[in-house]
Amino acid sequence: KPQAASQPSANSADRFQLLERMGDGAFSVVYKAYDRQLQSHVAIKVARKFQMKSSQRSSIYKEVSIMRSLHHDNVVSLLDFRESNDYFYLIMDLVPGGELFNRIVELTYFSEPLARHVILQVAEAIRYLHNERGVVHRDIKPENILFDPIAYIPDPTFVSSSSNRGKKDEGIFIEGVGGGGIGRVRLADFGLSKVVWNEPTLTPCGTVGYTAPEIVNDQKYSTGVDMWALGCVLYTMLCGFPPFYDEDVQILTQKVACGYYTFLSPWWDPISDSAKDLISHLLTVSPRDRYSIDEFLAHPWCQARLSTDMEG
Ligand code: ADP
Ligand code: MG
């Protein structure tokens, strides 16, 4: 259990000026807020304790303890955690662009360079979680992928002249590629996440020792759920609809179980074979054969970023 709030928590309500609702869940509401103590805008996930089962309370503590251990540019960071008699407060960095989901709806679908710009950042977050923290997110989807709408801002000190011909103005912030208005991408919502390394294997290169193969294998497979989800997100970005869909939940479940999806014409006709090849290695039923995050990042479609960034 994480440390309890260090100050009397009855003041929590005075500390925050709630500004607007940004998202709803079954037991929590996320607000944009002004934090008078931190003197900045933040996002607060407020969870009402009333009628919460003890298992739901402990899952909040789990979410907090996992988020506390995470420090990465592409992962939403937890700034503080408070609890009052009636509420839990998770105070997070505000990610002002909102959900990737809404951006897909607005643009219908993403160009390959824009999809690459986004998915590589999600993949960097996953690489950090899987390889450095032993954490499986387990709820990767466009609603839980948030972004900063940082437009390309040219470096004011950069002077184009004959002496630096051919050099590129690198700008100050992350460049939004492909006109999507998406700069930095950050993974949110660790409510379902899980630490899959047990204590003795907490170091990635540590000896497995006396651990049985099925345990080792299970740890390896459980990271696979994020890779499957990553494939679903990439698919959806490129064409605007998800790989698996049916109004009937039973049929949908069957399609997922046997990995039945297609690159539907005409939507997929202009999309590169390389992108399709990458997706097919993620939407692979057997987790044994599915790409790991390292295999994903090594694929030519991901490696093509340097050449295409120059064009777009
Ligand atoms: P839930 O478990 O209810 O899905 P989330 O943590 O996913 O909770 O938050 C719900 C929604 O609130 C997100 O999908 C997003 O729209 C918004 N949200 C969450 N965290 C942030 C944040 N740090 N900055 C901006 N919006 C956020
Ligand atoms: Mg969510």
* pLDDT single digits (tens) 69-120: 999 999 999 999 999 999 999 999 999 999 999 999 998 999 998 999 999 9
Per-residue pLDDT, 15: 87
Beta bridge partners of 45: 30, 90
Of all helices (H) and strands (E), which one includes residue 200?
none
How many angstroms does the Cα of residue 270 sit away from the middle of ligand 1? 33
Q: Which residue has the higher pLDDT, 177 or 219?
A: 219
pTM of the model: 0.85
Ligand 1: residue whose CA is nearest its atom 15: 23
What is the tally of helices (H) and strands (E) in the chain? 10, 9
How many angstroms does the Cα of residue 224 sit away from the middle of ligand 1? 23
* DSSP codes joined into one string, 124-191: HHHHIIIIII-EE----SGGGEEE--------TT----GGGTT-----SSPPPGGG-----EEE---T
Tokens of 84: 């009052």
- Any atom of ligand 1 within 6 Å of the Cβ of 33: no
What Rg value do the Cα atoms of the chain yield, rounded?
Answer: 21
Per-residue pLDDT, 209: 65
**Over the chain, what is the mean pLDDT?**
84
Q: Look at residue 309 and tell me whether its pLDDT is greater than 60.
A: no
Q: Look at residue 26 and tell me whether its pLDDT is greater than 90.
A: no
- Any atom of ligand 1 within 6 Å of the Cβ of 63: no
Q: Which residue has the higher pLDDT, 242 or 13?
A: 242
How many angstroms does the Cα of residue 77 sit away from the middle of ligand 1? 12
Of 275, 273, 274, nearest to 238 by C-alpha is 275
- Any atom of ligand 1 within 6 Å of the Cβ of 25: yes
Q: Compute the distance between CA of residue 27 and CA of residue 5 in angstroms, rounded to an integer.
A: 20
Ligand 1: residue whose CA is nearest its atom 7: 189
143 is in an annotated binding site: yes
Beta bridge partners of 33: 18, 42
Place of tokens 């006709």: 269
Q: Look at residue 6 and tell me whether its pLDDT is greater than 60.
A: no
User: Is ipTM > 0.95 here?
Assistant: yes
pLDDT digits 0-9 by tens, 162-203:
555 555 544 334 444 556 688 899 999 999 998 887 544 444
Q: Look at residue 254 and tell me whether its pLDDT is greater than 60.
A: yes
